[in-house]
């Protein structure tokens, strides 16, 4: 078999964390002082080497370097260009590890929940989601004073490191325009893009050093090309690649775009003077013809044909049929094939999942398997389809089996989903009528106090769950333990005088996993970790089939908690959008249909809770906002079905049953209509740190239902004082009607300890009492 004719395979980036989360453990040892930086570097170097070796042995032609990071590649880019905010007290020169990790984590202890991190002492940079993934990057902070200078030689060092080990790599850089667009300008109205001219020389310097070290190609990532861009953004892109092309001749750039189609940026992308262009053909297969027609005749096109964002085995025949004609007409030498994006977002190797159902396993592909798929395609395209006949047959057989499998398809679920009417997503009466019925039934005071659901997951709680999972604690013993914890929580809430109690969620490992384990259609992996941020990795559940609820999921513990007290106990569920958003979702059904199936399962849970005597039910939807599509034009369609799914889950109950929802973020302006359309009787949100400013969105919209603006920042170990919570509530009363306001923390308390939670909630209850008196 001649290698010459096959199409080169690239990966664009590979998971950093190691097959057994080696990077996490190395970092934690370093942070805790158990090991020093030299040892961390040795372990990181071993991981990089293993990554290069793995990719080479799998036959990858363009093995990346500088895709590795100790924490985050956007942070690496900040450091590369010397974008280090003053508080980190950097004195110039090459960056020290202490400064790097201070930017990543703050200079002391880290506290994290819901994708946010806070510290005592010097704070970390802000963190936010990388496009529409669950990966979080550190947000660069740039002021008009910013001057850039080369402060890290990581890109060059890692290229040389690979070279010394015998790997010729294609280094990866985050492109200058995307870097600036991801940055936060400090100072009113300051646009980081205005710093482009100052930034480009540093990029030029890095590219020159790479070239002088022997790099022939560099991969430059500009995923901003799949976003809505302004004329200024487009001009910045043109300028960038003209300047860099002139500054560093004899170096070829592979400009990569991913997470969607180029759309109205297509002409911009095609006009850039770069030697290669990578396009995402998984999310935007339709752009293939236009890209090929518009590319310049010498330009290499990298075809992103294997899904880098999901874990399903590919339909190789279908991909082949789609791209083979284009390749034949333009010539194999002008193409590469690749995943749609870096493999950072998928787990490393399916081979580790020995416990997974054999059928399900045969439908999956993790990073290693995706590279195999690319190699098979490459051979098919180069040597003819006959050379990989059996591999194509296997892939087709797996896909055919999945299409027919009764593990995937449940006729009852499909039929029920088809029978859903818009009326099912509507409460029986409008909010004012419901409110009266609820008030009559619940008889709550003004400024009712409650919490968001979870209480501290203490070491004891974790230990007993682990023992139960291991089998060293039996079901009865575990139940007895959870009962004791729940009862203690109920008694304590009664004692301090909270109005609406929660059972504490002691039985839950995680707000999605707990439900996923009880729903049909969900599966869990053992080693399927993906990086969420820094050393925090998640193992997203896999939604592989029609979702249904074999039996009630939460009724037992809610009912038990309610049986202990005369005060109302709030039931606690994770909403359909969040259940979907934090999972790997099947690709053989539209997301909105998957979401509706989950909504129906939750609807049954909601009505079962009602029947069991639970008068208030909270359906958490912290992930609604992050599900927003990257392009503004796609928002409405998404929000319409997301809201409809939430309502479908919530609307099976009587007027007097109070539905709560919870969202832990603070940007509502651009989605406030959708929030209003959810029509939850009560919404609790995160507001304590924004000093109630974010209520503006609700006020401008004249949001009619009840709101619990968080008064207690649960991301910090600090105990808020009565006075400061009174002040926050007073601020809320200036914006909202008193009858609308609830009193609660920003989010669940699972990451805190009781020593902090006890005094904080006692103060919170006292603050509510003081407000009642003053009204």
User: Interface with ligand GLN by CB under 6 A: which residues?
Assistant: 114, 452-454, 505, 511, 572, 620, 622, 662, 664, 747-748, 750
- CA gap 15, 339 in Å, rounded: 13
Least separation in angstroms between CB 569 and ligand GLN? 13
**CB-wise, 316 or 694, nearer to Zn ion?**
694
Binding partner at 453 among Zn ion, ligand GLN, none, C-beta below 5 to 8 Å by kind: ligand GLN
Q: In terms of Cα–Cα distance, which of 111, 125, 123, 121 is closest to 717?
A: 111
Least separation in angstroms between CB 759 and Zn ion? 21
Binding partner at 283 among ligand GLN, Zn ion, none, C-beta below 5 to 8 Å by kind: none
Task: Give 462: exposed, middle or buried? Use CB within 10 Å, 0-12, 13-18, 19+.
Answer: exposed
Binding partner at 570 among ligand GLN, Zn ion, none, C-beta below 5 to 8 Å by kind: none
**CB-wise, 48 or 750, nearer to ligand GLN?**
750
Residues in the chain: 775
User: Could you say which residues in the range 407-466 bind Zn ion, by CB under 5 A?
Assistant: none
Binding partner at 770 among ligand GLN, Zn ion, none, C-beta below 5 to 8 Å by kind: none
**CB-wise, 223 or 748, nearer to ligand GLN?**
748
Phi, psi of 119 (to 5 degrees): -135, 160
Least separation in angstroms between CB 57 and ligand GLN? 41
- CA gap 210, 217 in Å, rounded: 9
* Core vs surface per residue 90-115: b (16+ CB within 10 A) or e: beeeebeeebbbbbbbbbeebbbbbb
- CA gap 98, 106 in Å, rounded: 10
Task: Judge whether 136 counts as a catalytic residue.
Answer: no
Least separation in angstroms between CB 618 and Zn ion? 11
Number of Cβ atoms within 10 Å of the Cβ of 414: 14
**CB-wise, 169 or 684, nearer to Zn ion?**
684
Beta carbons of 237 and 222 less than 8 angstroms apart: yes
CA-CA-CA-CA dihedral for 677, 683, 684, 689, to nearest 10:
40
310 sits in which H/E element:
none
Pattern 723-762, Zn ion, x by CB under 5 A = ------------------------x---------------
Binding partner at 291 among ligand GLN, Zn ion, none, C-beta below 5 to 8 Å by kind: none
What does the DSSP assignment read for 125-159?
PPEEESTTSS-EEEPPEE-TT--------HHHHHH
3-class secondary-structure state, position 635: helix
The residues near 665 (Cβ < 8 Å, ≥ 6 apart) are 114, 622, 625, 685, 686
Part of the chain binding Zn ion (CB under 5 A), chosen from 308-316, 418-426, 640-648, 662-670:
662-670
**CB-wise, 413 or 572, nearer to ligand GLN?**
572
**CB-wise, 310 or 618, nearer to ligand GLN?**
618
CA-CA-CA-CA dihedral for 85, 87, 88, 90, to nearest 10:
70
Least separation in angstroms between CB 663 and Zn ion? 7
Least separation in angstroms between CB 622 and ligand GLN? 4
Give the CA angle between residues 625, 628, 633 to the nearest 5°: 140
Least separation in angstroms between CB 708 and ligand GLN? 12
Q: Which of 73, 278, 662, 715 is catalytic?
A: 715
* Core vs surface per residue 284-313: b (16+ CB within 10 A) or e: bbebbeebbebbeeebbbbbbbbbbbbbbb
Q: Which two tokens stand for residue 611?
A: 């029947």
The residues near 704 (Cβ < 8 Å, ≥ 6 apart) are 431, 432, 676
Binding partner at 521 among ligand GLN, Zn ion, none, C-beta below 5 to 8 Å by kind: none
C-alpha atoms less than 13 angstroms from C-alpha of 31 in its C-beta half-sphere = 20
**CB-wise, 54 or 715, nearer to Zn ion?**
715
Residue 110: C-alpha distances to residues 459, 686, 748 (Å): 18, 19, 17
Binding partner at 454 among ligand GLN, Zn ion, none, C-beta below 5 to 8 Å by kind: ligand GLN
Nearest residue to ligand GLN, scored by beta-carbon proximity: 748
Least separation in angstroms between CB 664 and Zn ion? 3
Binding partner at 572 among Zn ion, ligand GLN, none, C-beta below 5 to 8 Å by kind: ligand GLN
- CA gap 327, 321 in Å, rounded: 11
Binding partner at 750 among ligand GLN, Zn ion, none, C-beta below 5 to 8 Å by kind: ligand GLN
Binding partner at 365 among ligand GLN, Zn ion, none, C-beta below 5 to 8 Å by kind: none
**CB-wise, 603 or 662, nearer to ligand GLN?**
662
Binding partner at 19 among ligand GLN, Zn ion, none, C-beta below 5 to 8 Å by kind: none
**CB-wise, 620 or 681, nearer to Zn ion?**
620
Number of Cβ atoms within 10 Å of the Cβ of 492: 18
Q: Estimate to the nearest angstrom the gap between the alpha carbon of 63 and the chain centroid.
A: 26
Pairing of strands 217-221, 530-533: unpaired
Least separation in angstroms between CB 448 and ligand GLN? 17
**CB-wise, 373 or 713, nearer to ligand GLN?**
713
Least separation in angstroms between CB 541 and ligand GLN? 16
Phi, psi of 32 (to 5 degrees): -85, 0
Least separation in angstroms between CB 686 and ligand GLN? 9
When asked if residue 664 is in the footprint of Zn ion (CB under 5 A), the reply is: yes
Beta carbons of 347 and 311 less than 8 angstroms apart: yes
**CB-wise, 606 or 747, nearer to Zn ion?**
747
Residues of the shown chain interacting with Zn ion in the complex, contacts defined by CB under 5 A: 664, 747
Q: Please identify every residue annotated as catalytic.
A: 715
């Amino acid at each position: 078999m001649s290698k010459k004719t096959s199409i080169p395979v690239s990966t664009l980036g590979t998971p950093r964390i190691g097959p057994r989360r080696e990077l996490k453990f190395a970092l934690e040892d370093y942070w805790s002082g158990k090991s020093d930086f030299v040892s961390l570097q040795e372990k990181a170097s071993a991981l990089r080497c293993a990554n290069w070796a793995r990719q080479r042995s799998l036959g990858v032609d363009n093995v990346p370097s500088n895709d590795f990071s100790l924490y985050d590649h956007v942070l690496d880019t900040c450091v590369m260009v010397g974008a280090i905010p003053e508080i980190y007290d950097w004195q110039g020169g090459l960056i020290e590890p202490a400064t790097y990790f201070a930017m990543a984590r703050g200079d002391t202890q880290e506290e994290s929940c819901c994708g946010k991190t806070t510290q005592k002492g010097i704070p970390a940079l802000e963190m936010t989601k990388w496009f529409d993934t669950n990966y979080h990057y550190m947000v660069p902070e740039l002021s008009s004073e910013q001057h850039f200078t080369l402060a890290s030689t990581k890109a060059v060092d890692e290229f040389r490191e690979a070279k010394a080990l015998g790997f010729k790599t294609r280094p990866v850089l985050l492109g200058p325009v995307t870097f600036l667009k991801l940055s936060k300008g400090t100072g009113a109205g300051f646009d980081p893009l205005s710093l482009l001219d100052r930034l480009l020389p540093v990029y030029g310097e890095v590219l020159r050093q790479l070239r002088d070290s022997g790099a022939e190609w560099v991969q430059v990532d500009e995923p901003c090309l799949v976003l809505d861009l302004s004329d200024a953004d487009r001009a910045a892109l043109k300028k960038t690649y003209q300047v860099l092309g002139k500054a560093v001749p004899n170096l070829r750039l592979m400009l990569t775009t991913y997470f969607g189609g180029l759309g109205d940026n297509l002409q911009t992308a095609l006009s850039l003077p770069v030697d290669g262009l990578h396009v995402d053909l998984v999310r935007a297969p339709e752009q293939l013809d236009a890209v090929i027609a518009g590319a310049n005749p010498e330009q290499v096109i990298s075809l992103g044909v294997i899904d880098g964002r999901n874990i399903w085995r590919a339909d190789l025949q279908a991909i082949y049929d789609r791209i083979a004609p284009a390749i034949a007409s333009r010539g194999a030498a002008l193409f590469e094939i690749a995943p749609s994006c870096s493999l950072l977002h998928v787990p490393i190797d399916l081979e580790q999942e020995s416990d997974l159902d054999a059928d399900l396993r045969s439908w999956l592909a993790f990073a290693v398997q995706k590279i195999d798929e690319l190699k098979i395609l490459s051979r098919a395209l180069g040597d003819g389809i006959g050379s990989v006949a059996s591999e194509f047959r296997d892939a087709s057989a797996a896909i055919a089996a999945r299409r027919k499998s009764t593990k995937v398809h449940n006729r009852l679920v499909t039929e029920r989903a088809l029978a859903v009417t818009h009326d099912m997503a509507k409460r029986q009466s409008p909010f004012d009528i419901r409110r009266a019925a609820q008030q009559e039934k619940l008889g709550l005071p003004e400024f009712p106090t409650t919490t968001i659901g979870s209480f501290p997951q203490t070491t004891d709680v974790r230990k007993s769950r682990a023992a139960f999972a291991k089998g060293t604690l039996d079901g009865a013993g575990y139940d007895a333990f959870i009962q004791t914890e729940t009862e203690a929580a109920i008694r304590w809430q009664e004692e301090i005088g909270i109005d609406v109690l929660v059972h504490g969620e002691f039985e839950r490992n995680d707000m999605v996993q707990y439900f996923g384990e009880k729903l049909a259609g969900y599966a869990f992996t053992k080693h399927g970790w993906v990086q969420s941020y820094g050393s925090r990795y998640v193992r997203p559940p896999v939604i592989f089939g029609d979702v249904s609820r074999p039996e009630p999921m939460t009724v037992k513990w809610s009912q038990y908690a309610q049986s202990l007290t005369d005060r109302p106990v709030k039931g606690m569920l994770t909403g359909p959008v969040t259940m979907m958003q934090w999972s790997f979702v099947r690709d053989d059904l539209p997301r909105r249909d998957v979401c509706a199936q989950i909504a129906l399962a939750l609807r049954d849970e909601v009505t079962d809770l009602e029947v069991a005597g639970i008068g208030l039910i909270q359906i958490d939807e912290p992930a609604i906002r992050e599900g927003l599509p990257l392009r503004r034009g796609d928002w409405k369609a998404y929000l319409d079905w997301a809201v409809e799914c939430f309502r479908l889950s919530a609307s099976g109950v009587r007027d007097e049953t109070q539905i709560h929802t919870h969202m832990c973020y603070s940007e509502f302006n651009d989605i406030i209509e959708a929030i209003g359309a959810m029509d939850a009787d009560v919404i609790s949100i995160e507001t304590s740190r924004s000093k109630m400013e974010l209520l503006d969105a609700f006020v401008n919209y004249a949001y009619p239902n009840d709101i619990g603006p968080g008064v207690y920042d649960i991301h910090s170990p600090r105990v808020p004082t009565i006075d400061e919570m009174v002040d926050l509530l007073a601020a809320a009363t200036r914006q909202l009607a008193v009858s609308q306001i609830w009193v609660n923390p920003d989010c669940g308390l699972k990451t805190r300890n009781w020593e902090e939670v006890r005094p904080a909630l006692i103060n919170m209850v006292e603050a509510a009492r003081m407000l009642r008196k003053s009204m």
